[in-house]
Amino acid sequence: MSILEQKAAALYGEQKYPEALDIYLSLYKKSPKTEKYSIFCGNCFDALGDAEQAISFYKKASKLNPVSLTSLIALANVYYNHGDYKNSEKFSYRILKKSPDNVSALLNLGNIAYCRNDYETAFKFYEAVYKNNNASYIAVVNMANTCYDLKRYVKALDYARLALKLYPSSVDAYIIRGNSYIELGRYEKAENNLLRALDFKDNNPWIYNALSRLYQKTESWDRALDAGWNAILCTKETQKEQQINFGYLLYECVEEKGAETAAYYAAKWKNAFPDNKIVAYMAEAILNNKPVAKAEKEYVKQIFDAFATDFESTLSGLEYQVPEYIAEAVRQSFRRESFLPIKYLDLGCGTGLCALAVKPLLGWSEVTGVDLSEKMLEEAKKKHIYNRLIADDLSIFLETEKNSYHIITAGDVLTYFGDLQNLFNGVAKILNKKGLFVFSVSENNCNDNDYFLTPSGRFIHNNDYILRLLKKTGFEKLSMERKALRNEGDKVVYGYIVTAKKILTVEGN
């Protein structure tokens, strides 16, 4: 190694990446055909977060030495780290062609499958690493984790025990054991393992979350709330996921133990995070101290982005029937009056369940979907039923949309709005005369208010309010049927499927 190379390596080791990069770039310029300089430049760019440049240098290195695995491994890793699973997969398989037992490629493929919730495939890749090297802690702990996700709790316990043999202070292994014991109903063992995990790392929110879940199971609400509170204290304020977990915990607490205890924590939570919009919204849903007109955008985005890949399987378990009811309402009222394509807009389209049910009833049509959650839209795109998918807040979309539509649906989305006046006005503005607006609302069975924000963070509406508002915004009600929309916990959520026809041109149209 030349003196310059030694200097660059030392700078890289000290994480002084810009300085190391300067030297490697000068070496590369002097000797552009030397594979290692391209690799080193790529590594520096990668460390500096410039994936595009890193990839370009790794590709140069790969051309210089097509039989080398170094650049292929670097490419597979950089793509994986930037969420480009397709390319990471491509390079991982190229590596396996040359070297079928390559650990880096097998782990990458396992992780990609895991991120896609394909736990069976993920397990197979981790197992392949383990078969080649039964001292690989990473393989074993990932096998344990994957078994947990596959609900194979006894196996998860076995692999987590093995992981602890290989790495006795593994916090992850203790958490997996704690969670598995919770699922198996062995609460004392669960607590022992989770407390052991805390001994090693007392600022890990996931340990506190698991403890909170455990105490909920044993109905020790004070301890559950205390553990939940610790989870948010040891996380950065910006970590939305933990804040939402705590909001859900308060909601469960209202349901199981009553509003008083939850209200105490909700007030404390709001005070501790005064600038956090998700906290303000979820705490208000518990406290109900002041009117709230609409769900907080950040909150909606966060929950549905996180929920997108599991949305349909979860909802089918909750007997979610809104898309079918909406389709039935469309079947009853829709009459094609034109040979031109029917322009159909699906508001809060989510993963596309409403359009999937409605589009076949329309014949030749152009379908537009709008939703706040980009991850839900990614799922919708896979169905190939939409001509246009737009990521936007409905309030903004309706204000700015210039196209007009024959039919507009909104399935289980108005539950994220309290005051519906602007939304109905917006729909009326872009609906053709005699156009149909078909939507669902959840029924307000708590009080006589027009709308009410429940501790779950969702709004429920009074049917008189809906009827009044339809009239006011230029619609004629064609039907309003009370239905069981879905289950929530062990309760059935009732609501209305409403079909309205636009009769007036409202202001601004």
Ligand X SMILES: C[S@@+](CC[C@H](N)C(=O)[O-])C[C@H]1O[C@@H](n2cnc3c(N)ncnc32)[C@H](O)[C@@H]1O
Q: Which residues bind ligand X (CB under 6 A)?
A: 295, 300, 304, 322-323, 348-350, 353-354, 371-373, 376, 393-394, 411-413, 416
Shortest Å, Cβ 456 to ligand X: 12
**Side-chain-side CA neighbours of residue 437 (13 Å):** 27
399 contacts 419 by C-beta, under 8 angstroms: no
Shortest Å, Cβ 355 to ligand X: 9
Shortest Å, Cβ 331 to ligand X: 17
If the CB atoms of residues 18 and 291 are measured against ligand X, the closer one turns out to be 291
Tokens representing 264 are 């105490």
- Long-range contacts of the stretch 48-56 (C-beta < 8 A, 24+): 48/17, 48/18, 48/21, 51/78, 51/81, 51/82, 54/78, 55/79
389 contacts 417 by C-beta, under 8 angstroms: no
d(CA 199, CA 68): 44
Shortest Å, Cβ 405 to ligand X: 16
If the CB atoms of residues 43 and 365 are measured against ligand X, the closer one turns out to be 365
If the CB atoms of residues 183 and 324 are measured against ligand X, the closer one turns out to be 324
Residue sitting closest to ligand X (CB): 350
If the CB atoms of residues 173 and 497 are measured against ligand X, the closer one turns out to be 497
If the CB atoms of residues 348 and 435 are measured against ligand X, the closer one turns out to be 348
If the CB atoms of residues 354 and 498 are measured against ligand X, the closer one turns out to be 354
Q: Nearest-CA neighbor of 222 among 194, 174, 258, 184? A: 258
Apex 465 CA angle, 454 and 289, nearest 5: 35
Three-state SS at 440: strand
Q: Nearest-CA neighbor of 155 among 163, 144, 166? A: 144
If the CB atoms of residues 78 and 420 are measured against ligand X, the closer one turns out to be 420
If the CB atoms of residues 181 and 304 are measured against ligand X, the closer one turns out to be 304
Shortest Å, Cβ 341 to ligand X: 22
Shortest Å, Cβ 323 to ligand X: 5
Shortest Å, Cβ 294 to ligand X: 7
- Long-range contacts of the stretch 19-28 (C-beta < 8 A, 24+): 20/44, 21/45, 21/48
Beta-carbon count within 10 A of 225 CB: 23
If the CB atoms of residues 286 and 372 are measured against ligand X, the closer one turns out to be 372
Shortest Å, Cβ 411 to ligand X: 3
d(CA 134, CA 139): 8
Shortest Å, Cβ 413 to ligand X: 4
Shortest Å, Cβ 214 to ligand X: 29
d(CA 138, CA 402): 54
Task: Enumerate residues 6+ apart whose C-beta is below 8 A from 112.
Answer: 80, 85, 88, 89, 92
If the CB atoms of residues 300 and 420 are measured against ligand X, the closer one turns out to be 300
If the CB atoms of residues 295 and 407 are measured against ligand X, the closer one turns out to be 295
Shortest Å, Cβ 209 to ligand X: 24
Q: Nearest-CA neighbor of 474 among 508, 429, 440? A: 429
Residues 119-146 as b/e (b if ≥16 CB within 10 A, e otherwise) read bebbbbbbbbbbeeeeebbbbbbbbbbb
- Ramachandran angles phi, psi of 66, nearest 5°: -65, -20
Angle of helix 221-233 relative to helix 205-217, nearest 10 degrees, comes to 170
Shortest Å, Cβ 352 to ligand X: 7
If the CB atoms of residues 107 and 322 are measured against ligand X, the closer one turns out to be 322
Tokens representing 427 are 């729909």
d(CA 408, CA 425): 13
d(CA 251, CA 248): 5
